[in-house]
């Protein structure tokens, strides 16, 4: 072969390769753009407590095309070990999250009710856009927005093997959990060179949390939080709130003390700040984890935080006037109950900048700002 034919051979090969890249990659919108770059993935854990807006923050990640998002994987562990306490289950939840960050689904399979063959064994699978898209689910290709109802019916047969495959295709793996009460349990994850972990710690005014918890049945979870406590419901819910407040405070204090380990890897977010200035705060959060905010994404965030309930499907209605939601507890909650929560959560409220009310008049006076 002459030098010239070798040259033409290579020229043809490269042209063919670029043509393939152009046609295949640019025509296939379901390959997240990040995969084409092949960088080391970023692992993001949202830690929070019940009714604190973590589903909302999770959805903001779920909507991003570079994110593989799982809603509350620790739920399967808590449902499996209902008689145990949160302190023991921490470690199982931590190890499960660790495996899932590396796209290993084998431990999750052990906790699921039928051996973890299909994603429908996970209670909240249809909350995850990535689980509802190829390669996890090829039967349903979301177009014009992700529809969890359609996903629920069309993707329930998808396997966990496919889920693991899908997980490796994204630049960011994100999970949220309300089941970690102690940050020290998570610290070993920062030492694993396979992980690039960021923690987003989301807190909310305890009075709003307590008020919102009333509308949800959390008795199984509460029993695990209090480990077996069975008694008067009102006492139990105040005790749960006390435990949650102390845990949120301790998590933040440890994060501040562990600055060398957690440098640039821990971010505190108040739900109220997110609700009152969603676009600005989401931009900061995205920057912290290295995600780009598109114009379309910005419009979507504005839409879901300023409209009336548009998206009623699924149990998470996050499309509403989020600035109104922040103050809602002040009109719905008994002053007596407010005082109880302010008492058991005093330190956490002071630390995170939530001002107490001294009278029912102050509670109902909406011009009085209670957030520092």
Ligand X SMILES: *[C@@H]1O[C@H](CO)[C@@H](O)[C@H](O)[C@H]1NC(C)=O
Given the rule CB under 6 A, which residues bind ligand X? 139, 154, 157, 296, 299-300, 303, 361, 365, 367-368
Nearer to ligand X, 36 or 303 (CB): 303
Q: Is 302 helix (H, G, I), strand (E, B) or coil?
A: helix
Nearer to ligand X, 20 or 153 (CB): 153
**Encoding tokens for residue 123?**
């209670």
Nearer to ligand X, 264 or 296 (CB): 296
Contact present, 255 and 261 (Cβ < 8 Å): no
**Encoding tokens for residue 112?**
């699921």
Nearer to ligand X, 253 or 299 (CB): 299
Distance of CA 246 to the CA centre of its chain: 21
Whose tokens are 């109880």? That residue is 340
Nearer to ligand X, 303 or 331 (CB): 303
Nearer to ligand X, 154 or 162 (CB): 154
Q: Which residues contact 160 (CB under 8 A, 6 or more apart)?
A: 105, 108, 109, 116, 117, 118, 119
Give the angle 291-296-300 at the CA atoms, nearest 5°.
95
Q: Is 169 helix (H, G, I), strand (E, B) or coil?
A: coil
Q: Is 301 helix (H, G, I), strand (E, B) or coil?
A: helix
CB of 366 to ligand X, least distance (A): 8
With the CA atoms of 204, 240, 50 and 198 taken in that order, what torsion angle do they form, in degrees rounded to the nearest 10? 70
CB of 286 to ligand X, least distance (A): 16
Q: 345 burial class (0-12, 13-18, 19+ CB within 10 angstroms)?
A: buried
| CA pair distance 96, 115, nearest whole angstrom | 15
Nearer to ligand X, 5 or 367 (CB): 367
CB of 293 to ligand X, least distance (A): 12
Nearer to ligand X, 218 or 276 (CB): 276
CB of 31 to ligand X, least distance (A): 22
Preceding omega of 135 cis (within 30 degrees of 0): yes
CB of 367 to ligand X, least distance (A): 5
For helices 335-344 and 233-257, the axis angle rounded to 10 degrees is 40
Edge-to-edge, what's the strand order for the sheet holding 172-177?
A: 67-71, 172-177, 42-47, 197-203, 266-270
């Amino acid at each position: 072969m002459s030098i010239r034919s070798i040259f033409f051979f290579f020229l043809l090969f490269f042209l063919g390769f670029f043509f393939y890249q152009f046609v295949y990659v640019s025509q296939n919108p379901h390959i997240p753009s990040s995969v084409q770059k092949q960088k080391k993935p970023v692992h993001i854990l949202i830690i929070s407590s019940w009714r604190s807006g973590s589903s909302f923050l999770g959805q903001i990640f779920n909507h991003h095309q570079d994110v593989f998002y799982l809603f509350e994987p620790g739920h399967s562990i808590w449902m499996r070990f209902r008689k145990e306490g949160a302190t023991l289950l921490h470690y199982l939840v931590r190890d499960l999250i660790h495996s899932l960050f590396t796209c290993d689904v084998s431990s999750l399979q052990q906790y699921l009710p039928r051996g973890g063959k299909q994603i429908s064994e996970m209670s909240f699978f249809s909350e995850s856009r990535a689980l509802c898209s190829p390669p996890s689910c090829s039967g349903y290709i979301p177009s014009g927005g992700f529809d969890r109802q359609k996903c629920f019916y069309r993707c329930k047969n998808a396997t966990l093997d496919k889920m693991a495959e899908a997980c490796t295709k994204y630049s960011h793996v994100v999970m949220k959990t309300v089941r970690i009460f102690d940050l020290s349990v998570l610290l070993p994850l920062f030492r694993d060179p396979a992980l690039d972990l960021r923690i987003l710690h989301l807190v909310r005014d305890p009075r709003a949390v307590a008020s919102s918890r009333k509308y949800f049945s959390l008795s199984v979870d509460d029993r695990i939080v209090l480990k077996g406590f069975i008694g008067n419901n009102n006492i139990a819910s105040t005790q749960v709130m006390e435990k949650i407040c102390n845990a949120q405070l301790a998590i933040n204090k440890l994060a501040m003390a562990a600055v060398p380990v957690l440098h640039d890897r821990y971010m505190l977010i108040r739900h109220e700040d997110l609700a009152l200035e969603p676009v600005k705060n989401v931009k900061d959060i995205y920057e912290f984890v290295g995600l780009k905010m598109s114009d379309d994404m910005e419009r979507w965030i504005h839409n879901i935080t300023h409209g009336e309930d548009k998206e009623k499907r699924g149990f998470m209605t996050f499309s509403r006037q989020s600035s109104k939601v922040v103050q809602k507890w002040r009109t719905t909650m008994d002053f007596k109950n407010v005082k109880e929560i302010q008492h058991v959560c005093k330190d956490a409220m002071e630390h995170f900048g939530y001002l107490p009310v001294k009278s029912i008049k102050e509670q109902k006076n909406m011009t009085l700002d209670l957030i520092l």
